[in-house]
Amino acid sequence: MTKTPLIISTDPGIDDIAAMTISLFAQELDVKMIIPTWGNVALEYTLQNTLNLEKFLHTKVPVVSGANQPLVAPKISAASVHGKTGVAGFDFEEATDELVVPGLAATLMYNAIMDSPVKVTLLGIGPLTDYALLLKQYPNVVENIEQLVIMGGNIGRGNHSPLAEYNIAGDPEAAQVVFQSGLKIKMAPLEIGNKAHVTQEQMTQIKNCGEVGNMLYSLFSNIHEPDGDPRIKIFDPTAVGLILCPEAFSVRKANVEVELAGRYTYGASVINFMSNNPNAEVAIDVDVKMFADWFINKIKLADQGRM
């Protein structure tokens, strides 16, 4: 099987930890580089969380420090959801920075993408700052990118503000650059993670997936929804699912624009399914059982692969 080369831009973040874990051990993927960026918590934490996760998983994928802040917007935080350091509930052993590759993320991503004999897939599970910088610095990079798959946006209500989802709202200008880039984009909005939330039965199954399952169970048990929603919503793996288990999703073409001027709507993803000028495929539904079975199986594979 030809593995899909993958670059991950991420802001761990509890659900990011889950998405990276299953990606690193998925036999269909070859993770070439991980770019921790600012997002749920500050870059200092997302970078260290990424290094600590790789130490826990015994993986050695190069790590490149991403953006420290959004392009224009004021920096926001989701520490109330993920904990001060971004990984409430599990004490990872502190890793060294041996996996860090020094240099500018945009340049290192560009070189990796253009050197790849197979078109590279990009996974975006945090604010899109680093992908916007890549596209602005090296517009021709799109030639060797297969697709960009993101967890982000919302068809209805937001989770950062009434009409904006956190990743898009975190850097609206960056998201607009990405949606205008001409890249093939697939998008898993909030509605997918809301519907495919992790049930107590699945939590028990996850806890029984060895040390990897125990780590994820501990993190998932400590994710906190500020609105008091008791559902355990693990959003970022739904974007990995769009890549590896597309049969679990229903998608529709749409034109996606990001609101950049609204006083109350800044950062809202405006998804127009009626447009004659679609720029993305948006997941509108998910087979919850198919996705859950796939997700738990990927966690099992990660635990087996970690040995």
Q: Which residues make up the interface to ligand RIB (CB under 6 A)?
A: 11, 13, 15-16, 39-40, 78, 125-126, 151, 159, 165-167, 235-236
User: Taking the complex as a whole, how short is the minimal distance between the CB of residue 211 and ligand RIB, in angstroms?
Assistant: 22
User: Taking the complex as a whole, how short is the minimal distance between the CB of residue 188 and ligand RIB, in angstroms?
Assistant: 10
The span from the CA of 254 to the CA of 257, in Å, is 10
What letter does residue 144 receive in the DSSP assignment? G
On whether the CB atoms of residues 150 and 124 are closer than 8 A, the answer is yes
The span from the CA of 67 to the CA of 286, in Å, is 32
User: Taking the complex as a whole, how short is the minimal distance between the CB of residue 81 and Ca ion, in angstroms?
Assistant: 10
Torsion of CA 34, 38, 39, 44, to 10 degrees: 90
The item of ligand RIB, Ca ion, none sharing an interface with residue 78, based on CB under 5 to 8 Å by kind, is: ligand RIB
One-character DSSP codes across 56-86: HHT----B----SS-SSSPP---HHHH-TTS
Which residues lie near Ca ion (CB under 5 A)?
11, 13, 16, 125-126, 236
Q: CA dist 290 to 227, 241, 271, Å?
A: 28, 10, 26
Sign of CA dihedral 178, 81, 282, 238: positive
Q: CA dist 81 to 31, 100, 171, 194, 246, Å?
A: 27, 27, 18, 15, 28
The span from the CA of 61 to the CA of 33, in Å, is 6
User: Taking the complex as a whole, how short is the minimal distance between the CB of residue 304 and ligand RIB, in angstroms?
Assistant: 26
User: Taking the complex as a whole, how short is the minimal distance between the CB of residue 238 and ligand RIB, in angstroms?
Assistant: 10
Which residue number, 49 or 65, has a Cβ lying nearer to ligand RIB? 49
User: Taking the complex as a whole, how short is the minimal distance between the CB of residue 88 and ligand RIB, in angstroms?
Assistant: 13
Which residue number, 125 or 183, has a Cβ lying nearer to ligand RIB? 125
Which residue number, 49 or 279, has a Cβ lying nearer to Ca ion? 49
User: Taking the complex as a whole, how short is the minimal distance between the CB of residue 176 and ligand RIB, in angstroms?
Assistant: 17
The span from the CA of 25 to the CA of 43, in Å, is 24
Q: How far is CA 147 from the centre of its chain?
A: 14
Tokens of residue 151, six digits: 């967890």
Q: How far is CA 213 from the centre of its chain?
A: 19
Which residue number, 37 or 121, has a Cβ lying nearer to ligand RIB? 37
- Tell the residue number behind the tokens 């929603």, with chain if given: 229
Which residue number, 168 or 299, has a Cβ lying nearer to Ca ion? 168
Which residue number, 16 or 191, has a Cβ lying nearer to Ca ion? 16
Which residue number, 32 or 82, has a Cβ lying nearer to Ca ion? 82
The item of Ca ion, ligand RIB, none sharing an interface with residue 4, based on CB under 5 to 8 Å by kind, is: none
